[in-house]
Amino acid sequence: MRFFLDTVDTDEIAALVETGLIEGVTTNPTLIAQSRRSQRDVIRDICSLLEGPVSAEVIATDYEEIVKEAHVLADLASNVVVKIPVTFDGLKACKTLHKEAIPVNATLCFSPLQALLAARAGAAYISPFMGRIDDCGQEGRKLIEEIRDLYNYDHDWDTEILAASVRHPKHVLEAAHAGAHIVTVAPSVFRSLYVHPLTDIGLEKFLQDWRASQEN
């Protein structure tokens, strides 16, 4: 399973890309609005920091405007992936953009049937929202498992499962077990993945023993 960052913080992206473990970035209108910068400037800056896919979401909701906005976003950089909600007009736009070789991240997915339609429409990625599913008393992990089962039936589909709305390390582990190809996480979640108290205790013990040996 590959790791993407869900953020528009370019300082964090630059720092974590250096680990060699970050292969893409996802953004959304909320994150862009919080940055108080234009979407174009933010996306251009992020795309300059890594070669992997950077998802930029459309604001439009009707077919013609989605396609129009998608073209503007795709022209910002060669590694832009246009993020489009799984709606009637969104799926229609996805099919059109697929024919034009513009990759689409089909977002706001909450059911296996939505994922099925997105794959048929040619989406490069499908983004099931694990955390929001859990908030409704259902299981985000189960959704990913069901999508993976559907996709396994037809090997002609190239759509990758991108687990989104990931709130904590447990979600990351569940996404991996469920068969997600990618998980996108906030920088704070990514940093928490390699933290364990026993690692810190063990390291400190080794260092203490080493320092003691050098004093003798």
Structure tokens at 200: 């810190």
Low-confidence ranges of the chain (pLDDT < 70): 155, 209, 216
Which residue type does 56 have? A
Q: What per-residue confidence (pLDDT) applies to 33?
A: 95
> Alpha-carbon torsion 128, 106, 191, 194, what sign?
positive
Q: What angle do CA 12, 28, 40 make, to 5 degrees?
A: 80
> Alpha-carbon torsion 74, 105, 169, 51, what sign?
negative
**105, β-bridge pairs:** 83, 125
160-174: pLDDT as tens digits: 999 999 999 999 999
Domain ranges of the chain: 2-215
Q: What per-residue confidence (pLDDT) applies to 203?
A: 76
* pTM of the predicted structure, to 2 decimals: 0.93
β-pairing, 80-85 vs 2-6, is unpaired
The rounded mean pLDDT for the chain is 94
Round to whole Å and give the CA distance between 136 and 97: 32
Q: What per-residue confidence (pLDDT) applies to 216?
A: 65
Q: Is 95 designated active site?
A: no
Choose, from 83, 92, 95, 142, the residue flagged as catalytic.
83
Which CATH homologous superfamily contains domain 2-215?
A: Aldolase class I (3.20.20.70)
φ, ψ for residue 72 (rounded to 5)?
Answer: -65, -45
Please choose, from the candidates 66, 137, 133, the residue with its C-alpha nearest in 3D space to the C-alpha of residue 95: 66
φ, ψ for residue 194 (rounded to 5)?
Answer: -100, 10
Burial of 111 (0-12, 13-18, 19+ CB in 10 A): middle
181-213: pLDDT as tens digits: 999 999 999 999 998 878 877 778 777 868 878
